[in-house]
Amino acid sequence: MATMTMVKGLNEGLRQVLEQDEKALIMGEDVGLLGGVFRVTDGLQKDFGSERVVDTPLSESGIIGTAIGLALRGYRPICEIQFDGFVYPGFDQLVSQLAKLRNRSGGRIKMPVVVRIPCGGGIGAIEHHSESPESYFVHTAGLKVVTCASPEDAYWMIQQAAASDDPVVFFEPKRRYHAKAEVDTTAAPLGLHRSRVVRSGSTATLIAYGPTVDVALNAAGAAAEEGLDLEVIDLRSLSPIDWEPLRTSLRKTGRAVVVHEAPQTLGMGSEVAARLSEECFYSLEAPVMRVTGYDVPYPASRLEDDYLPNLDRVLDAVDRSLEY
């Protein structure tokens, strides 16, 4: 067991990928000499060379388009989008080409491309640096979408994503980059598209992913002081979703609260609430609640604490659920 940050977990996971597969390469703005703006790729160009860790022009469309061409020639590119709000110039390449090519070829063409995207707020950043665009990609058939919430998941999930023959959009919660935890680099990892119960409970189920898993765990800890026993589930994979742990939990607790940073309308919480209402209707004691960002553009940094889901908002949703 080694103690590391999420940044270090990602860095070590990427190092494993480059060491084990000579066709793997990393590409993006400032990923080489600088080591990325968050230093996720620090030291990798020095150890693997500038043809394996490639500093690209400032063009997200060019990065993803080039990655598609490389994948067609047998390479396994891992792209870095510097910030969540910068992905949109590459959106057409992602949803019109990358997501479609394998299906268009009847499965004959593999698209082993990973697109890493630092996501979410909480770091006091300026406009376009704190967004949560996951629903765009979850809605796009042909893309797999995952997000890590811990250093251990970061270490293993980036390796699993790089091994996929389908394109994977890999969201990294930037405000959790420097959170430390123990990482077991020897045990068999959980499957890439599996949900995980990170805290067991019986009163209600908190469903979160990425940056809000820690929010949910803190809320569960505070609720325990008041005699409430909250279960917390980390989705980990947003497309596809592993529904069975959610169904099992709902049969036990009868109540659910979904927590995410993205705006509420047509966010992940909408799909989770609809699906659980359809499949667990007779287990539910109350409607599935949602605690999310608001339906406004991400605010200036001085207001982000009022925008982001927090412990108080989560516990208020639990209280409202218990009133039914």
CA distance 174 to 200: 26
* Residue 260 annotated in active site: no
| 308/274 Cα distance (integer angstroms) | 23
Q: Which contacts qualify for 249-253: CB closer than 8 Å, 24 or more apart?
A: 249/197, 249/205, 250/205, 250/276, 250/280, 250/283, 250/284, 251/280, 251/283, 252/202, 252/205, 253/201, 253/202, 253/203, 253/204, 253/205
Q: What is the dihedral of CA 259, 155, 38, 299, to 10 degrees?
A: -10
Q: Which is the catalytic residue, given 129, 178, 193, 260? A: 129
* Tokens 């596809």, located at residue: 240
How far is Cα 185 from Cα 205, in angstroms, rounded to an integer?
30
Contact 309, 292 (CB under 8 A): yes
Length of the chain measured in residues? 324
Q: Name the residues annotated as catalytic.
A: 129
